[in-house]
Structure 1
Amino acid sequence: MVDIEQINPRNQAALRAWWEVGRAATADRPGNPWPAWEQTRVSLPADNPEGAVTVLAAIDGREMVGAGLLMRPLRDNLHSATVDAYVRPDRTREGIGRRIVDELEVVAAGDGRRTLHGEVFVPPGATGTGPEGFAEALGYDIASREAIRELAVADYLQRHDRLVDAAAAAAAYRIVTFDTVCPEQHVASFGRLLGMLFDEIPLGDLDLQASAWTPERIRDAEQRQVGIGRHVLTALAIAPDGSVAGSSDVRVNETDTAHGQVGITIVDPDHRGHRLGLALKVATHDLALATYPGLLAVATSNAEVNAHMNAVNEALGYRTIETLLELQKQL
């Protein structure tokens, strides 16, 4: 009989078994979809001012056969939560995934969360897949579609000179780069830009609302990243008037310096049309390579309807490897 139990992420033996389930469940996906154990060991138990987590395990006898995770924002979008469920490949089609999701929904509802988000990953352009059917059966609708792309660093380097020439269109803006901690003179303006994010990126039908990023909130988030060994290699575009007109970052964990992940890329609408998106991405990728010469690949995701950013990624050499279906359910 399979029992669904909450586990303490500070219990390393239980967390390692949980991590192994997730690694097995994602092993057939392309790219680098599952974090290194050392990263999970540090990051999941760590205090997070941005969100609270609940970790579930499906246990059969003395074996863990399923894993679940509920993440609840604490600073904004307090009506929402994110649900993740994984089942060991040899134990699928037994109802374990459904039971994990059901329990996560109970926890979310008990915390007053009425909108649940989730993700499934399918081959590029695929429809009618098993993950889609599972989500539909549980009442989750597809709210947005994103392209998961991966960049081989070797391809980027072959294009580099042409990219630098194209980014020269942004010469009126000064590019400032930093590792994780924003320079004090830019932090307030940077927060103003971050507060635009959900108003400016394509969200589809996702029920998410813009938020305020005060200097204090930014500093709290930075300290968490430093504490868990994640380097947020960031570029800011500084307008002639000194304001932050755009930002992009590449994130690299100390536990796996061969792989990076693009985080947030945003350009203030008042400053578009100057190729800032391209200039910022070239700056962050160059900073990542200068910091981590062994970097092999960088991953990113963007809404399929975000034609401009997708064109920028293609120019850098990114290639689509998966389709991400962003799911939503109203309780």
Structure 2
Amino acid sequence: MATFFRVARPVRGQEPSDVVRSFVFMANLAAQEITGETGSSVSAARVVQRLAGSTESDSLMVVMAESGPGMWEIDPDTGHSLLPSTLTEGFADVSEDYEYLGFLHLSIPLREDLAMVELECVLDAEFQPVPGERLTAEGSQVYQSLLAEGESLARTLGRKVIQLWQTHPVTEDPGAESFAEQLRAAGFLPDLVEVQGVIELFEVSRQSPILPADVGVDYFDSHLIPDSHLEGVLGLLYQASLDIPHGQLYLEPQRWTRERLAEAEARRLNTGLEVAYVVLSDAAGPVALSELHRHPASEPGTLEQGITVVSPRRRGQGLGRMVKHLALIQAMERWPWAERVYSSGGAQNAGMLHINRSLGMREISRGTAWQKILL
């Protein structure tokens, strides 16, 4: 009989368990079928980091599986039996005794968006449809069970809004993907569409753009921004959260402070994340920012684009493309082995799409955001 199990909190310094490795394999299999890319894959180490939680967000994983012979303890919050997320020296990995049907990963914001929870539903390979095909009856049943369990957990957490991103091929119309029928049946509505792509660094010019005479550039390799730039950078980070297209999605702007940035730096040091900020400033302070990330567990040669934002008072002067181009040049100098940068943005954000495409971004997939308001 199929049962839901909760994946326990990780033990720091221990290797991921079978259930986490299986989730990662199935999630990457689904993504790679759509994008044809391996660099966009998630790593087991990164999932374990998320399951540990932070001051920004918490994470919860539940697995639907045929009952196995071994069990851990009972989770007092959800009533689920627990499976380990990390291996404990001297003990067998009991999660290997289970036949997984599907996985449910919840992201729980702790700063803004306190009424919302984001779901990620991943089916076992047996039930995953290839692009262009429909879910089987068995796959549909497992997927509906995952959605129903996600709604139950959202209610337990006191969250009234559920959001879910569904990736699909570039050639497939939003809302027409194989899971759309199941999502509509469960009460979800499609909303925002995101364009996902990759920039090959060997195609990017190493010739720095010519900045306006009154604009200078600074580079930072951590979240410890000097006082001379701090207030301006905090303002740009807040502006970026206002600029992100959100359609009808429940999303609140992020208010950044010196303390919040210090917490982000502590997490960066704890996880081994590397960052690169490029900041453009005029006499009044920072006017544009672009950031890149390198996760230690990501595929070698792969970087991820963070935000790119321009102050409203200096828009329409090409600074967005300039600061992003400078960030890509900085990436090639700082990480000379880097090969590509993954980037995404709302399909409604025509300006950023134009910048990305002018820098050589090749679209590999699209994502549709689905939302359900619980009554």
Is this a same-fold pair by TM over 0.5?
yes
Secondary structure at 2:246 match in 1: coil
What is the TM-score when the length of structure 1 is the normalising length?
0.91
Selected match of 1:36 from 43, 51, 72: 43
Q: Give the secondary-structure state (helix, strand or coil) at the position aligned to 2:59.
A: strand
Aligned to 1:323: 366
TM-score of the two chains, using structure 2 as the length reference: 0.81
Q: Give the letter for the 1:105 counterpart.
A: E
Residue 152 of structure 1 pairs with residue 159 of structure 2: no
8 Å CA contact retained: 1:122, 1:129? yes
Whole-angstrom distance in 2 between the partners of 1:149 and 1:19: 21
- Measure, in 2, the Cα distance between the counterparts of 1:26 and 1:124: 13
Task: Say if 1:9 and 1:15, in contact at 8 Å, map to a contact too.
Answer: no
Partner of residue 334, structure 2: 291
After superposition, the C-alpha distances for 1:124-154 in whole angstroms (9 at most, x for unaligned) are 1412220322322222212111111111122
Structure 2 vs 1, CA of residues 223 and 184 (structure 1 numbering), >3 Å: closer, same or farther? same
Residue pairs, 1:258-277, within 5 angstroms: 258-277=301-320
In 2, distance between residues paired with 1:201 and 1:91? 34
User: CA 1:134/1:173 → structure 2, altered by over 3 Å: closer, same or farther?
Assistant: farther
DSSP-derived class of the 1:57 partner: strand
Measured in 2, the distance between the counterparts of 1:106 and 1:71 equals: 15
Q: 2:215 aligns with which of 151, 173, 179?
A: 173
The alignment status of 1:236 with 2:272, answered yes or no, reads no
Q: 1:46 to 1:290 in 2, by over 3 A?
A: farther
What amino acid maps onto 1:258 in structure 2? G
Residues 33-64 of structure 1, C-alpha deviations (whole Å, 9 max, x = no match): 321233334x2233411001111111124222
Q: Find the counterpart in structure 2 of residue 139 from structure 1.
A: 187
Q: How much is the aligned-residue C-alpha RMSD, in angstroms?
A: 1.9
1:122–1:131 Cα contact (<8 Å) kept: no
Question: Against the structure 1 CA distance between its residues 66 and 9, is the aligned structure 2 distance closer, same or farther, given a 3 Å change threshold?
Answer: farther
Q: Which amino acid aligns with 1:190?
A: V
What are the Cα deviations for residues 215-262 of structure 1, in whole angstroms up to 9, with x where unaligned? Answer: 101110122122112212111122212x22121111111223411111
Aligned to 2:30: 25
* C-alpha spacing 1:180/1:98, structure 2 compared with 1 (3 Å): farther
1:1-331 matches, cutoff 5 A: 1-10=1-10, 12-13=16-17, 14-30=19-35, 31=37, 32-41=39-48, 43-61=49-67, 62-92=98-128, 93=136, 94=138, 95-127=141-173, 128-156=176-204, 159-161=205-207, 164=208, 167-185=209-227, 186-241=229-284, 243-256=285-298, 257-331=300-374
Asked if structure 2 preserves the Cα contact closer than 8 Å seen for 1:21 and 1:64, the reply is no
Question: CA distance change for structure 1 residues 235 and 110 in 2, over 3 Å: closer, same or farther?
Answer: same
Shift of 1:319: 1.2
Number of equivalences: 323
Give me the whole-angstrom Cα distance separating, in 1, the residues matched to 2:222 and 2:34: 29
Greater RCO structure (CA 8 Å; 6+ sep)? 1
Distance of 1:197 and 1:169 partners within structure 2: 21
How far apart are 1:199 and its partner, in Å?
2.2
Partners of 1:9 and 1:44 within 8 A in 2? no
Unpaired stretches in structure 1, ≥5 consecutive residues: none
Specify which structure has the higher proportion of strand.
1
Deviation at 1:171, TM superposition (A): 4.3
The answer (yes or no) to whether the contact 1:9–1:55 under 8 Å persists in 2 is no
